[in-house]
Amino acid sequence: MKSKNTLYFYNSLINSIFIMFISLTFVVFGSMICWAAFKYVDLFLGLIGLFLVGLFIFLLYRIIKILKESKPLLILSDEELILNSRSKKPIAVKWVDIKEYEIQEVNLYRYININ
C-alpha cells in the first residue's frame, strides 16, 4: 500500500487547538455557573452548568485523542483512496471503481465529490 505517490490528509492543527481553547473556556464557564447555582440553591441553573461541563469535557477528550493519534483522515495512493482511516473499519475504494471526482472550494473549505 505504501507507494511512492501517496498523499496523507490530516486535521488542521490550528482549528483543533482553537476548538480546544473554546471548549476549555466553556468548561470554566460551566463550572462557574455550577458553583454559583449551588451556592444560591438554584437546581435548574446547576443542571445547565453540569450539562455544559460534561458536554465540553467530552469534546475536549475527543479533540485531545485526535491530536494524540495523528492518523490521517484521507489517504490517496496510486492503487486506492482510503476514507476514515482513523476508524475501526476504514473504507478503501479502488481507483477503477471511481468514475470521476471534482474538487470544490466553498468559502474556506475544500470538498471532494466522488462519483
Cα angle 63, 66, 69 (rounded to 5 degrees) comes to 150
pTM of model > 0.75: no
Give, for all 115 residues of the chain, the pLDDT tens digit: 555 788 888 888 888 889 889 989 989 988 888 888 888 888 888 888 888 899 999 989 988 888 887 788 888 888 888 887 677 788 888 888 888 878 888 888 888 788 7
Q: What type of residue is 98?
A: I
Please state, in angstroms and as integers, the Cα–Cα distance from residue 18 to each residue in 31, 72, 109, following that order. 20, 19, 17
Please state, in angstroms and as integers, the Cα–Cα distance from residue 59 to each residue in 1, 27, 49, 88, following that order. 33, 10, 15, 20
Burial class for 99, CB neighbours closer than 10 Å (0-12, 13-18, 19+): exposed
